[in-house]
Amino acid sequence: MKNSKLMTQREEDLMEFLWTQENPLTVTEMEGILGKEKWNKVTIFRIVNKLTSKGYLKIDRMERNNTQYARKFMPTITKEEYAAVLLSERGIKSNSLGKIALAMLGTGKRKKTSRDEEEKLVKELEDMITEIRNQEE
């Protein structure tokens, strides 16, 4: 995947939608759902092609639709992986992860998180550390 190519706002909007879907979709299926939000098939088709060429979408499979075949697309990157790409492109490195986690918890003037939320985050971070250590072995 070409990580150096960031998404446009419209591309991110389509990816936000695709990240919520459980199964790969055709352009026609995307339009059937997004058409209510003023997305048209041509726009979706163009954005899908751009995201595919950037490496953010891939063809999962072909599906027969009457007499023609349609391509089903799925993301090649998770929302969290793309967030890491964005942070990296803006010069934020992995040694800042602790500070980012604290900022997301709402330190400073922002609303404080509950004790349960903090404990959940600590558990997730501990699990990640364990996973990283297991990979090194």
Domains recognised in the chain with CATH numbers: 9-75 (1.10.10.10), 93-136 (no CATH)
Q: pTM (2 decimals)?
A: 0.73
What are 109's two structure tokens?
Answer: 């003037």
Nearest to 105 by CA among 83, 125, 80: 125
Taking alpha carbons only, the member of 21, 82, 28, 23 closest to residue 51 is 82
Q: At what angle do helices 97-105 and 115-136 cross, to 10 degrees?
A: 160
Q: What is the chain's pLDDT, residue by residue, as a tens digit (137 residues)?
A: 444 588 999 999 999 999 999 999 999 999 999 988 889 889 999 999 999 999 999 999 998 878 888 999 999 999 999 988 888 888 887 777 777 777 776 655 555 667 787 788 788 888 888 888 888 77
Distance between CA 54 and CA 51 in Å, rounded?
5
Q: Of all helices (H) and strands (E), which one includes residue 92? A: none
Q: Which residue, among 71, 76, 75, has the nearest Cα to 28 in the 3D structure?
A: 71
